[in-house]
Amino acid sequence: MKHLIIIHLGLVASVFGNGGGYFRGGVEQVGDVAGFEPENTDHVRIMDERLEVKLGPKSAEVSVRYVMKNEGDQAAKVRFGFPVEESKDRDDYGYGGEKPEPTKGLKYCQNYRVEVGGKALKAKWEEEKKPASDEAGKEQKIQDHRFEGIQGWLVSTATFPPHQETEVKISFESGYSEENWFVSDDSHLGEGIFRYRLSTGAAWAGSIAQGRIELIPDGIDPAELRVIKPVNRFKREGDRWVWQFDDLEPTLADDLEIEARPEERGFHRPYDAKSEDDRVDFIDRGGKWSMSHKNYEVHASSTLPADGSNHYDAENVKSWTTAWSEGAEGPGIGEWIEMKPEVPKPLKAIRIRAGYDGDDPSLFTKNARPKRVEVVLNGEHRFEAELEDTREEQRIAVAGYDRPVKSARLVFKEVYPGSEYEDLCVSGLQLEVALDEKPEIQPAR
């Protein structure tokens, strides 16, 4: 048995492997049907592997480049599979008995693409056979724990010429699990975990001759990125984490488990006992407390004129029930909205509810929404952030700037166009600042 590299994503979630699945050796079968088995991989070796993972607030962009060498004397027509684990997410995969297109049906593997020698390959979905149930209705134990939790495989075929090196590329987007709930004014968002397993038992020949794994914060605070596993492999290089290796025969101890987003608990409460109407969000984010507030003056580059009783002033971003809309020609590119907090403090993040989020849900897509924004703090510190096209609150992390913020301006560089109106809208903005100590909060019941 040689090595297996698996990218394991999502809510204990989806797993992809570089070449082959596990060899079963005729042991693991369900009834008379054996699960997926790789073919003709025993002479093909990974000479070089380069894995780059851009870790964002809600998903990771993954790209892998391999140099594979067929060390045999004959061409090897290889059948290899990329395993996908079962998801415990409430949305699940939604197969409904139908096998989805690989690039569309896998929630934690969007825009999946595999190339061998510069040629794109097709990936066919092959469901993993499940163990039968006993008379009591309990699922029988799987003897080989390598297959526990695998939903199925993305299977491809490629030919590797003898004594030649061939480049293989894989790329996809991996969403994190969305474990969230609300109880009255309390909320919970589970941590965002990315997994990539280097495990024994794969089909490829020999060790990985050399490799480099690079973790790149992309819209998250680098200080929050946490390498849970493996221990003592990665080294910090600026904001990135890097692991380089030679002649690696991976074991379970080398499996990657990366926390890109810590667990977050929110408590919507009055700022103090005398201010029931002046409510803020107290936030426990990975054991560090902060407060998200609306105690600021707000100004905008332009405002859409009132339409009867409907007005679109910049102050609307404090209400979360109405929206600010710019009033310039075009879709709002180059327009800005600026907040000046009453008490300047260093910012941990800016929280935004993009688009028009009123009583009529259709107004969200009818109007333009921010896609890419430039954040300008105190007129001197600048960075850009990309937003998803969602009505949910999004968090723009602030990193590398510790000065008290007197002004925070959002300049809109790119938009999601509205289906009926050009007007760019924002429904909510809050400033998140660190707290010196844990607040006294009673959870909702």
Q: Identify the pLDDT of residue 299.
A: 98
SS3 104: helix
d(CA 211, CA 115): 19
Q: Answer whether 427's CB lies under 8 Å from 354's CB.
A: yes
Q: Answer whether 3's CB lies under 8 Å from 38's CB.
A: no
d(CA 170, CA 191): 26
SS3 146: helix
Q: Could you tell me the mean pLDDT of each successive run of 10 residues in the chain, 445 residues long?
A: 34 35 46 56 89 94 94 91 61 37 57 92 83 58 62 85 95 80 85 75 75 96 94 94 92 84 90 62 94 96 93 91 92 97 97 89 93 98 96 94 97 97 96 93 75
Q: Which CATH number fits domain 2-261: 2.60.40.3680, 3.40.630.30, 3.30.479.30, 1.10.760.10?
A: 2.60.40.3680
Nearest to 353, CA basis, from 320, 398, 386, 314: 320
Q: Identify the pLDDT of residue 172.
A: 84
The residues spanned by each domain of the chain are 2-261, 264-434
Residue with tokens 């600042």: 433
d(CA 158, CA 66): 14
CATH of span 264-434: 2.60.120.260
Q: Which two tokens stand for residue 347?
A: 């910012």
Q: Identify the pLDDT of residue 107.
A: 66
Q: What is the pTM of this model?
A: 0.81
**DSSP calls for 405-434:** BS-EEEEEEEEEPPSS---BEEEEEEEEEE
Other beta carbons within 10 angstroms of residue 360's beta carbon come to: 9
Q: Identify the pLDDT of residue 12.
A: 30
Other beta carbons within 10 angstroms of residue 212's beta carbon come to: 14
Q: Identify the pLDDT of residue 419.
A: 96
Q: Identify the pLDDT of residue 128.
A: 78
Q: Identify the pLDDT of residue 426.
A: 97
SS3 375: strand
Q: Answer whether 427's CB lies under 8 Å from 320's CB.
A: yes
Q: Hey, what's the torsion of the CAs at 93, 99, 100, 101, to 10 degrees?
A: 150
Other beta carbons within 10 angstroms of residue 191's beta carbon come to: 16
Q: Identify the pLDDT of residue 13.
A: 33
SS3 103: helix
Q: Identify the pLDDT of residue 138.
A: 60
Q: Identify the pLDDT of residue 321.
A: 76
Q: Identify the pLDDT of residue 182.
A: 77
Q: Identify the pLDDT of residue 243.
A: 97
Q: Hey, what's the torsion of the CAs at 136, 138, 141, 145, to 10 degrees?
A: 180
Q: Answer whether 125's CB lies under 8 Å from 102's CB.
A: yes
Distance of CA 201 to the CA centre of its chain: 28
Please list, in sequence order, all residues whose beta carbon lies within 8 angstroms of the beta carbon of residue 273, skipping any fewer than 6 positions away. Answer: none
